[in-house]
Amino acid sequence: MKKRRNKFIAFFRLIYLKLFRINDTPARIAWGLSLGVFCGIMPGTGPIAALFLAWVFKVNKAAALLGSLSTNTWLSAIIFLLSIRIGAGIIGKEWRLVFSDWSSALNNFSFSKLFKITLLKLIFPVILGYVVIALGLGLLVYLVSLFLLKVKKYEDKSRINLSA
């Protein structure tokens, strides 16, 4: 029984090490964080999508999961309102009209209205705003985290050289 338990623990430890190898290059960690932030902001995606895309693009999965979980829920209301403003501005609509359309659609929700073409007119500015925000914040997170990780790596190397 104990031998089987040890094999079980060893198996999950191996999976953990394969999935979440944090001893990675600064660029792969930064790309993972930015991919996670992108997935965390985009509606309908989240930690599972971040892990899958991190696997596809071969970036750090732990960083992608951290980025996704750090932005997934607590920014939702702010990002939704901001995406209405940005998306409406890009397509040249008044953001208050898009917001009132969303309010009325949510108040009078029905599944039959989901398939109407007018709903696409309603969703497009918001999705466009989400994409712009997610790309912008993802790029910002990439640049900041890459800078911080390279500074930390440089400091670690200088400490090793000083102590030698």
Q: 8 in a domain, yes or no? A: no
Q: 158 in a domain, yes or no? A: yes
Q: Can you give the pTM of this predicted structure?
A: 0.74
* Cβ proximity of 15 and 51 under 8 Å: no
Q: 4 in a domain, yes or no? A: no
Q: 94 in a domain, yes or no? A: yes
Q: 113 in a domain, yes or no? A: yes
Least confidently predicted of 3-7, 14-18, 81-85: 14-18
* Cβ proximity of 54 and 64 under 8 Å: yes
Coil, helix or strand for 42? coil
Q: 120 in a domain, yes or no? A: yes
Residue 83 pLDDT: 92
Number of domains in the chain: 1
- Token output for 39: 């997935």
Residue 7 pLDDT: 79
**Residue 16 reports pLDDT greater than 80:** no
Residues across the chain: 164
* Cβ proximity of 58 and 24 under 8 Å: no
Q: 132 in a domain, yes or no? A: yes
Q: 6 in a domain, yes or no? A: no
* Cβ proximity of 31 and 142 under 8 Å: yes
Distance of CA 107 to the CA centre of its chain: 29
Residue 55 pLDDT: 93
Residue 135 pLDDT: 96
Q: Across residues 76-88, what is the average pLDDT? A: 89
95 vs 103: CA distance, rounded Å: 12
Helix, strand, coil shares of the chain, percent, nearest 5, are 85, 0, 15
pLDDT tens-digit series, residues 93-138: 888 888 888 787 777 777 666 666 566 677 889 999 999 999 999 9
Domain that holds residue 28: 23-163
Q: Across residues 84-92, what is the average pLDDT? A: 91
Residue 142 pLDDT: 95
pLDDT tens-digit series, residues 27-44: 998 999 999 999 999 988
Residue 163 pLDDT: 54
**Residue 155 reports pLDDT greater than 70:** no
What is the rounded average pLDDT for all residues in the chain? 81
